[in-house]
Amino acid sequence: AQRVTQPEKLLSVFKGAPVELKCNYSYSGSPELFWYVQYSRQRLQLLLRHISRESIKGFTADLNKGETSFHLKKPFAQEEDSAMYYCALTQGGSEKLVFGKGTKLTVNP
């Protein structure tokens, strides 16, 4: 069965510090991995996807198939990065998403 694990419920860093939100997955095929974000009082929205290999708001994520991980990283955290972050996967071509439980990131001034 497909599963997404985000081991940290809460993560707190200071402004300017590096941040890494962990995501591990279990899936036997070739998944597509995503990070969704929900800022306070806003809707859940797509942050980035692994196939586009892009950097959004300074965040990057690399798919490591050997370690079945898709960690989200940013070298210098900003206060506006405070939000709930959800890792999700889907089978290639499927529109059904499987979500992790989420990590609440707090960036302190």
Partner 1 sequence: NAGVTQTPKFRILKIGQSMTLQCTQDMNHNYMYWYRQDPGMGLKLIYYSVGAGITDKGEVPNGYNVSRSTTEDFPLRLELAAPSQTSVYFCASSYSGLMGVYNEQFFGPGTRLTVL
Assigned token pair, 59: 């965040």
Assigned token pair, 49: 């996807």
Binding residue (CB under 8 A) for partner 1 from 29, 66, 93, 109: 93
Closest approach, Cβ 14 to partner 1, in A, equals 25
Report if residue 55 touches partner 1, rule: CB under 8 A: no
Report yes or no: 78 and 13 within 8 Å, Cβ to Cβ: no
Stretch that binds partner 1, among 11-19, 55-63, 68-76, 97-105 (CB under 8 A): 97-105
Picking from 89, 105, 94, 91, the residue whose alpha carbon sits closest to that of residue 4 is 89
- Residue among 15 and 106 whose Cβ is closer to partner 1: 106
Report if residue 59 touches partner 1, rule: CB under 8 A: no
Binding residue (CB under 8 A) for partner 1 from 44, 56, 69, 73: 44
Q: If you search the block for the tokens 């036997």, which residue do you land on?
A: 28
Picking from 36, 107, 39, the residue whose alpha carbon sits closest to that of residue 70 is 36
